[in-house]
Amino acid sequence: MAVAVTQAPARPFARPKSEHGFWSWISTVDHKRIGILYGVTAFLFFLVGGTEALLIRLQLAGPNGKILTAEEYNQLFTMHGTTMIFLVVMPTAAAFGNYFVPILIGARDVAFPRLNAFGYWAFLAGGLFLYSSFLLGGAPDGGWFGYAPQTIGKFNPGHGIDFWLIGLIITGIGSLTAAANFIVTTLNLRAPGMTLMRMPVFVWMNLVVSFLLLFAIPVITVALFELFFDRHFGSNFFNANLGGDPVLWQHLFWLFGHPEVYILILPAMGIVSEVLPVFSRKPLFGYSVVVFSGIAIGFMGWGVWAHHMFAVGLGPVANSAFAASTMFIAVPTGVKIFNWLATTWGGDLRLKTPMLFALGFIGEFTIGGLSGVTHSIVPSDYQQTDTYYVVAHFHYVLFGGAILGLFAGVYYWFPAVTGKLLDEKLGKIHFWLIIIGLNLTFGPMHILGLQGQPRRTYQYPKGMGWEMWNGIETLGAFIIALSILVFIVNALKTARSKEMAPPDPWDARTLEWTIPAPPPAYNFAEIPVVHARDDFWHRKYTEDENGRLVRIPAGGADEASGVTEHGGGGTTTAEHDDHGDGHGHGIHMPSPSYFPALAGLGIFIIGYGAIYHWWIGAIGGLILLAGIFGWGNEPLAEEH
């Protein structure tokens, strides 16, 4: 790497400079590396959460299961839900957002690179903190929704719930900072010509999600603190015996929790909106409508939360109002589905793995959406609530929806990140196995739910007639596991392979395919100038009088923006800049920094202080302050 000729005077803790090796990952502020950190960490948590699911399914495979005690079961389903939501789906979306949003808008990085890094460290800290509970007296067992009064000290002594509360406060801080970062980045760092209505839909969905996070995280944070204070400082927010109201917990939790489900699904919808046009060789049908539906879902998502509380006793007025709003929110969602279908209609479909997952999303999510609509009818919901019917619904939308959508993103963007294509054959096997597996696992849950099998229950007795479907569900879960194994084999095989993909392997539409893969640190040698939506596509193709695609001959590229229609720009940068760090171009990227990780470490330690001894918290606090002061005092980029 470029040797620094003049350096700042040597300090005891010098600013990291390295670009390789373990410490370079600890100190990175490069949004792409941070994206990889999020993605890999989230995938590892996915394997853990999946294992928890398999244990649950083993317990429930037959009646009177003896594999787990009731307490162990409660811990497992709590951790399974909490993990999948907070430590898998959200961070995977963050991985894609981090890696691609700056590139998709033609920027070099996010608005606040160090804050971005901090967001990852807070996620990691919160996740590890939560999982340390297994080793420190037991994991939380109050469900991912932590309802009082089961979770107050009197009924839940021990530290499990505290690990849950503080773990989520910590990850919440990370999500909040990431949200603010994405909002400012998307609004402020778009390349010239990249108007809001030319942005890729994934960027739009990420923006809506960021606003949802910005406003929803504070609500759950208050709830988490109130419950923590109930458990440790004698307050009685949720203790009905002393004037508290458990329903307040539910309001605060679901005020967060409902926007949260849109936070979970919108990024996957964004990915689907990117993949379908590429593999149909047609623009997204009704771009503006898809964008505005996403925004509408974001707004309306705030008006439906009490549909999680229909059976609590809020009364007919409240229940009816929320039932109506819940029915209405199906509209923008349905609109998107129709637009996606119209996108594929008459298109030149290429059924590659990303496209299969995107199409799978549409089918499976629709099933989940339909069961959701049945929940909106209050008397119907009285029957369904707290049964496996609900479990079916949210797994269809979260697994059939979000997870399939995120896998579409993995297969689609793998070559953009690594320069290699995942194996198509293995990809297809993964896809079909997961479709079979998920439908076998979650389909029968509709039936069992309506037959009365309650959720969150560690055993069911013989003679209810539930044995067969439960057995099939367990089989389905292991088929899902097998499919993931296939994916892991694919990923490892591809990592070891030397075969590089051609540039722009999917013949795609957006800016991430115009730069080399893996991209240089600075993304674009020259910031592109954007003339249209799907700008890259229009540089490659035009249409003849019959509306057929005609490839624009070589040399028709906009040289000023440094984008060639080969989608590489590789030769130019390689000539000047062997290290991809921008020095040959006079580009200054933000310098690496340890302080975001240090601040994350400080918060991690504060967490233990809150549970055990105040002086542990004080030590964590000092580390946090050191991190913040160091961060505040160092410039964003060191001069070389």
Q: Which stretches of the chain bind another protein, using CB under 8 A?
A: 106-108, 111-112, 176, 179-181, 183-184, 187-196, 214-219, 221-223, 225-226, 229, 233-237, 242-245, 247-248, 251-252, 255, 302, 305-306, 314-315, 318, 526-527, 529, 531, 560, 585-588, 629, 632-633, 636-637
Residue from 514, 622, 521 nearest 559 by CA: 514
Query: What is the distance, to the nearest Å, from the Cα of residue 632 to the centroid of all Cα atoms in its chain?
Result: 29
In terms of CB distance, is 60 or 148 closer to another protein? 148
Residue 208 and residue 264 in contact, taking contact as beta carbons nearer than 8 Å: no
Query: How is residue 515 written in tokens?
Result: 């730069």
Please report the sign of the dihedral spanned by the C-alpha atoms of residue 310, residue 325, residue 295, residue 391: positive
In terms of CB distance, is 303 or 452 closer to another protein? 303
Residue 396 Cα distances to 54, 247, 443, 475, angstroms: 17, 28, 8, 17
In terms of CB distance, is 141 or 260 closer to another protein? 260
Q: What is the C-alpha to C-alpha distance for residues 298 and 209, in angstroms, rounded to an integer? A: 7
In terms of CB distance, is 302 or 478 closer to another protein? 302
In terms of CB distance, is 147 or 215 closer to another protein? 215
In the bound complex, what is the minimum distance in angstroms from residue 235's beta carbon to another protein?
4
In the bound complex, what is the minimum distance in angstroms from residue 234's beta carbon to another protein?
3
Query: How is residue 443 written in tokens?
Result: 């389909």
Residue bearing tokens 């028709």: 556
Alpha helices, H only, 3-112: 22-26, 31-60, 70-82, 90-104
In the bound complex, what is the minimum distance in angstroms from residue 436's beta carbon to another protein?
41
Residues 6+ apart with CB under 8 A from 493: 423, 426
In the bound complex, what is the minimum distance in angstroms from residue 416's beta carbon to another protein?
21
In terms of CB distance, is 347 or 584 closer to another protein? 584
Coil, strand or helix: which one is 454?
strand
In the bound complex, what is the minimum distance in angstroms from residue 588's beta carbon to another protein?
7
In the bound complex, what is the minimum distance in angstroms from residue 438's beta carbon to another protein?
34
The dihedrals phi and psi of 64, each to the nearest 5 degrees, come to: 50, 45
Residue from 248, 266, 406 nearest 312 by CA: 248
In terms of CB distance, is 97 or 244 closer to another protein? 244
In terms of CB distance, is 271 or 309 closer to another protein? 309
In the bound complex, what is the minimum distance in angstroms from residue 40's beta carbon to another protein?
27
Residue 326 Cα distances to 258, 272, 330, 366, 530, angstroms: 11, 24, 7, 16, 39
Can you name the residues that pair with 550 across neighbouring β-strands?
Answer: 542
In the bound complex, what is the minimum distance in angstroms from residue 122's beta carbon to another protein?
15
